[in-house]
Amino acid sequence: MCALCGLLGTERDWSSSMASSLPMRQQRFLRIAQANRILGFFRLTLEDFQGVSYVLSSPTGRREIVSDFGQLWPVAETLVGRPIDPLDPALLTWLSSIPQ
């Protein structure tokens, strides 16, 4: 458990298992912010849910609980109804056009 923010560290996804100098909650918010930059292209939003999981929302009001980052992309694809491909040139153009 992280003594600073009371998070249990239950995420099982491989990308969460890195030691970081940041407190867990701050690390969590950083990941959410980064994921939202990508998800913005699909008009989806990711929010923290009680420090244990995440809520992914679509512009039409559909919401899904996501337990860890390993689950994020399959759930996002279901909400959007089409494949989410990081090699898609349109997505890459969108990412590079977001104001810093």
Partner 1 sequence: MTPTPSDLIPLIVITGFLGSGKTTLLRKLLTTDLGGETAVLINELGEIGIDHLLVGEIAPDTVLLKSGCVCCSIRGDLKDALIQLFSRRQKEEIPRFRRIILETTGLADPAPIFATVLADPMLRHHFSLGVIIAVVDSFNASLHEQLHPEWMAQVTSADRLILTKTDLVPEQNRETLRKHLRKINPTAVIVTNAEVKEGDPLLLSAGLHEDSPESEAERWIRNFTHPIRQQDDRADVHKGHEDSEHPDVNSFCLVFDRQIDWTAFGLWLSMLLNRHGRSILRVKGILNLSGSAYPIAIHGVQHLVHPPVHLSGWPDSDRRSRIVFIVRGIERDAVERSLNTFCRYLGSSSF
In the complex with partner 1, the residue whose CB is nearer, 61 or 86, is 86
In the complex with partner 1, the residue whose CB is nearer, 57 or 68, is 68
Q: CB of 16: closest distance to partner 1 in angstroms?
A: 8
Query: Which tokens belong to 67?
Result: 């337990």
Count residues binding partner 1 (CB under 8 A). Answer: 33
How many angstroms from the chain centroid is the CA of residue 84?
13
Q: Please name the residue that has the structure tokens 């512009």.
A: 59
Q: Which of residues 15-74 bind partner 1 (CB under 8 A)?
A: 15-21, 27, 30-31, 33-35, 37-38, 69-70, 72-74
**What string of DSSP letters covers 9-76?**
-----GGG----SS-HHHHHHHHHHHHHHHHGGGT-EEEEETTTEEEEE-TTS-EEEE-SHHHHHHHH
**Chain residues in the site for partner 1 (CB under 8 A):** 13-21, 27, 30-31, 33-35, 37-38, 69-70, 72-74, 77, 83-87, 92, 95-96, 98, 100
